[in-house]
């Protein structure tokens, strides 16, 4: 495995922050990951594992080893799916749907790689990774130990997992369980199927999700961004009821721990769409997305994050939490 020095990461994340890695390497196997662990240990370097860079905000240069996970592997059957962490997530969903292997179609077009999917328990249109998860194999970045985690080990929550909390693991591979279940009741998907006079099938849901996402979200190539910048806040039922009294159009969804509110709605109603700091802009197309023209620094993004959080807190009394990983944090 090759280790390169002083590598620009700008084109390796979808938000295109300017950042250089002191060391950079690409792992194509579990053995490469072990070699990288040894390399970093000898030099006392912290390791940042990189997938597709679509959920990562680089806040400065990185004085450590950036380890890009490029481990391939894709075995699909109707009973089980086994994937290497470096595979592209959407390509897997697309291939599975084409082959009639269902249960993943709601998660179509989520950018990034397989290995990052458990990090924040990716979710969209009424489905989360945890709903189809069997197990994963990961290497401990301190000890080099290889461990298998089943679902109960992973502490999956809303955009949360053990791996996001500990940042101690390099995920190598993952097993998922296909399903015949059709999840078509999510409002946007349901109305798209009605408008197109289509029965719910794995293929039609896949098509609906792809079309809705393409029309709603700014394209990362022309408008660099990291997807939803804030989590949808979960509040107590009493807080949600009080807010609904004053703002009946506030979208809300029941959640196992309370009521989930639409962060996009809160940001838009706080008058923040189109607000800018340097080259960072709250997208006019979708209030939850911050776009970047590729020229600015984290200090400006930080000011914009503060402005959004304090305005929403002032106006609605609700705290917003940043969704992507900020590194170094």
Ligand X SMILES: Cc1cc2nc3c(=O)[nH]c(=O)nc-3n(C[C@H](O)[C@H](O)[C@H](O)COP(=O)(O)OP(=O)(O)OC[C@H]3O[C@@H](n4cnc5c(N)ncnc54)[C@H](O)[C@@H]3O)c2cc1C
By beta-carbon proximity to ligand X, the closer residue of 101 and 220 is 220
Q: Active site includes 42?
A: no
| CA pair distance 69, 61, nearest whole angstrom | 20
Q: Name the active-site residue from 228, 252, 283, 296.
A: 228
φ/ψ of 62, rounded to 5, equals -115, 115
For the CB of residue 93, give the shortest distance to ligand X in the complex, in Å: 12
How many residues are there in the chain?
329
Contact assessment for residue 50 and residue 56, using Cβ atoms and an 8 Å cutoff: yes
Q: Name the active-site residue from 19, 132, 159, 296.
A: 159
Binding mask 29-58 for ligand X (x = CB under 6 A): -------------------xxxxxxxxx--
Q: To which H or E segment does residue 23 belong?
A: strand 20-27
Binding mask 261-300 for ligand X (x = CB under 6 A): ----------------------------------------
| CA pair distance 294, 271, nearest whole angstrom | 24
Q: Active site includes 26?
A: no
Regarding 225 and contact with ligand X (CB under 6 A), the answer is: yes
| CA pair distance 156, 176, nearest whole angstrom | 15
Reported as half-sphere exposure (CB side, CA atoms, 13 A), residue 102 has a value of 14
Binding mask 107-126 for ligand X (x = CB under 6 A): ---xxxx-xxx-xx-xxx--
Regarding 226 and contact with ligand X (CB under 6 A), the answer is: yes
Q: Active site includes 228?
A: yes
Q: Name the active-site residue from 26, 128, 277, 323.
A: 323
| CA pair distance 289, 275, nearest whole angstrom | 11
For the CB of residue 201, give the shortest distance to ligand X in the complex, in Å: 21
By beta-carbon proximity to ligand X, the closer residue of 86 and 102 is 86
| CA pair distance 39, 46, nearest whole angstrom | 11
Active site residues: 159, 228, 323
């Amino acid at each position: 495995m090759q280790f390169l020095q002083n590598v620009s990461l700008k084109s390796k994340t979808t938000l295109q922050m300017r950042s250089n890695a002191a060391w950079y390497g690409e792992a194509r196997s579990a053995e490469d990951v072990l070699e990288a662990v040894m390399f970093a240990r000898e030099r006392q370097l912290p390791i940042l594992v990189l997938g597709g860079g679509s959920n990562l905000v680089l806040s400065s240069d990185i004085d450590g080893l950036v380890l890009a996970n490029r481990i391939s592997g894709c075995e699909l059957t109707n009973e089980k799916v086994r994937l290497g962490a470096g595979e592209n997530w959407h390509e897997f969903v697309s291939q599975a749907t084409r082959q009639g292997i269902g249960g993943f179609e709601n998660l179509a077009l989520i950018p990034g790689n397989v290995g990052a999917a458990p990090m924040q328990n990716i979710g969209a249109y009424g489905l989360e990774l945890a709903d189809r998860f069997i197990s994963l194999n990961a290497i401990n970045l301190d000890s080099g130990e290889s461990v298998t985690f089943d679902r109960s080990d992973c502490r999956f929550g809303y955009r949360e997992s053990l791996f996001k909390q500990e940042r101690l693991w390099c995920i190598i591979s993952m097993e998922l369980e296909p399903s015949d279940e059709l999840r078509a009741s999510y409002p946007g998907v349901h109305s798209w199927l009605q408008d197109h006079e289509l029965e719910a099938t794995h293929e039609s849901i896949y098509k609906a999700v792809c079309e809705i996402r393409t029309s709603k979200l700014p394209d990362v190539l022309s408008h660099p961004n990291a997807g939803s910048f804030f989590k949808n806040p979960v509040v107590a039922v009493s807080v949600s009821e009080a807010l609904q009294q004053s703002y009946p159009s506030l979208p809300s969804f029941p959640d196992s721990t309370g009521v989930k509110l639409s962060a996009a709605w809160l940001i838009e109603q706080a008058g923040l769409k189109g607000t800018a700091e340097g080259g960072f802009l709250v997208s006019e197309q979708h209030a939850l997305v911050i776009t970047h023209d590729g020229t600015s620094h984290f200090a400006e993004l930080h000011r914009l994050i503060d402005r959004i959080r304090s305005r929403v807190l002032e106006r609605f009394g609700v705290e917003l939490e940043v969704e992507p990983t900020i590194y170094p944090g």
